[in-house]
Amino acid sequence: MPAVNQSSEKPTALIALADGQLFYGKGFGAPGETVAELVFNTAMTGYQEIMTDPSYAGQVVTFTFPHVGNVGTNAEDDESGDVPAAAGLVVKWDPTEPSNWRSAGDLGDWLAKHGKIGMGGVDTRRLTRAIRQQGAPHVALAYNPDGVFDVEGLVRKAREWKGLVGLDLAKDVTCAQSYHWDEMRWAWPEGYKAREGKGLKVVAIDYGAKRNILRCLASAGCDVTVLPATATAEEVLALNPEGVFLSNGPGDPAATGAYAVPMIKDILKTDLPVFGICLGHQMLALALGAQTIKMNHGHHGANHPVKDLTTGKVEITSMNHGFAVDAQTLPKGVTETHISLFDGSNCGIALAGRPVFSVQYHPEASPGPQDSYYLFERFAEAIRGRRAA
């Protein structure tokens, strides 16, 4: 297939797909090369949150919405640590001068500071069609201000990359040691405030936890202690929790499950409420005896309709996952509670007769904007119910 270049200027960035397709454009951010899986995201806002979501580790994100970078960047919108988890980003139009009262910096400068590649001037609709047709492809993304590229070498690197199947990335993005979290959701005009007083003791397992998930737990009344992904059941129970939360994260759930599933199985032997999101949902499903599968191109965006089968209501949700729980493998006693209205894939489960449940989507991301916040309240109420009993 011929190379695609929308700009009349000499291209300074190139994304090479494993099948040989080439897309040229204008680079910004940090010069260099990276090899990753390519996914598209349909959200119209939140590019900084997306780039800093640990669930995007090992992935280059192309945005279907053209106006990316127009509100700049700021420290409050980071969802994880010091470096964005996503490998790079591809956009249709070059980022413009930011115009927003919260902006503290330019997207290109922010990417350069963190050593991440940005690429503009790309026909992202055509690139998205390629992703949908062949599945999330392996790609090599390069930015060279001189416009010189080893095209054959980049295609070869994309083809030789092993991909996310079988890859445990949670260990790369999890916290190094435990810590306490008390910051609540952002509210006007105070911004982020700390939760005060005694709360519901929750241990959150960090497979790549987003900060806003932890904020939502705190806002629901939880006193949160975060443990690394490799924490054992003994370490969790030693903290005398009243509930256990399983966070989002990147990579192949089956690979992470090698050490996460035994811990969760032991937690399930207790009467503790358990709540999981995204990778945490998949970890819980594996621990209950189900299986996960790799999706063609996954779900990535802030406009995904999900039906709650227990109430009949439809929620507009934010999603970011390339693997899914295979509903056909759910064992007896595990109920499918939510499904995607795009493709019917599983989006939630619950253990019969127990306060144990999880969802595939991100209720903290507020695309509804409040459609799914009830899940955090449900978790908190389960803990209060256990206290009362």
190 and 154: one domain?
no
128 and 207: one domain?
no
Least confident of 2-6, 130-134, 189-193, 374-378: 2-6
Question: What is the mean predicted confidence (pLDDT) over 270-289?
Answer: 98
Domain boundary among 142, 160, 178: 160
Q: What is the pLDDT of residue 5?
A: 54
Q: What is the pLDDT of residue 366?
A: 86
Closest CA to 29 of 150, 145, 122: 145
Question: What is the mean predicted confidence (pLDDT) over 238-248?
Answer: 98
Is 222 assigned a catalytic role?
A: no
155 and 174: one domain?
no
38 and 115: one domain?
yes
Asked if pLDDT for residue 2 goes beyond 90, the answer is no
151 and 23: one domain?
yes
Q: What is the pLDDT of residue 83?
A: 85
Question: What is the mean predicted confidence (pLDDT) over 318-326?
Answer: 97
Average pLDDT over the chain reads 96
In this structure, what CATH number is given to the domain that contains residue 249? 3.40.50.880
Q: Which residues pair with 191 in a beta bridge?
A: 187
Q: What is the pLDDT of residue 8?
A: 57
28 and 73: one domain?
yes
Q: What is the pLDDT of residue 81?
A: 78
Contacts of 38 (CB under 8 A, 6+ apart): 15, 17, 59, 60, 62, 90, 127, 131, 136, 137, 138, 139
* DSSP-assigned letter for residue 163: -
H-assigned helices in 98-204: 107-113, 124-134, 151-160, 170-173
* 31 belongs to a structural domain: yes
Give percent above pLDDT 90 in the chain. 93
Strand ranges in the chain using DSSP code E only, listed in sequence order: 4-5, 13-17, 22-29, 32-41, 59-63, 88-90, 117-120, 138-143, 179-181, 200-206, 222-228, 243-246, 274-277, 292-308, 314-325, 334-340, 346-351, 356-359
Is 235 assigned a catalytic role?
A: no
* 373 belongs to a structural domain: yes
The greatest distance separating any two alpha carbons of the chain, rounded to the nearest whole angstrom, comes to 70
Q: pLDDT per residue over 26-51, tens digit each?
A: 999 999 999 999 999 999 999 999 99
Domain boundary among 113, 132, 160: 160
Q: pLDDT per residue over 63-120, tens digit each?
A: 999 999 999 999 999 999 778 999 999 999 999 899 999 999 999 999 999 999 999 9
184 and 97: one domain?
no
46 and 176: one domain?
no
144 and 195: one domain?
no
* 165 belongs to a structural domain: no
Is 278 assigned a catalytic role?
A: yes
Domain boundary among 160, 185, 203: 160
The angle at the Cα of 136, spanning 298 to 62, to the nearest 5 degrees, equals 85
Provide the residue range defining the domain that includes 207.
170-388
In this structure, what CATH number is given to the domain that contains residue 127? 3.50.30.20
Closest CA to 334 of 321, 322, 320, 346: 346
225 and 256: one domain?
yes
Cα 45 to Cα 255: distance, rounded to the nearest angstrom = 31
Q: Could you tell me the two tokens for 77?
A: 């919108």
Question: What is the mean predicted confidence (pLDDT) over 207-236?
Answer: 98
150 and 175: one domain?
no
* 260 belongs to a structural domain: yes
* Strand order across the 334-340 sheet: 179-181, 222-228, 200-206, 243-246, 274-277, 356-359, 346-351, 334-340, 292-308, 314-325
148 and 261: one domain?
no
**What is the total count of domains within the chain?**
2
Q: pLDDT per residue over 285-311, tens digit each?
A: 999 999 999 999 999 999 999 999 999
Q: What is the pLDDT of residue 6?
A: 52
Q: Could you tell me the two tokens for 110?
A: 């922010």
Q: Which of 278, 299, 304, 338 is catalytic?
A: 278
Q: What is the pLDDT of residue 369?
A: 87
Asked if pLDDT for residue 380 goes beyond 70, the answer is yes
Least confident of 11-15, 95-99, 279-283, 379-383: 95-99
pLDDT band at 1 (very low <50, low <70, confident <90, very high): very low
Asked if pLDDT for residue 210 goes beyond 50, the answer is yes
- Put simply, whether the predicted model's pTM sits higher than 0.85 gets the answer yes
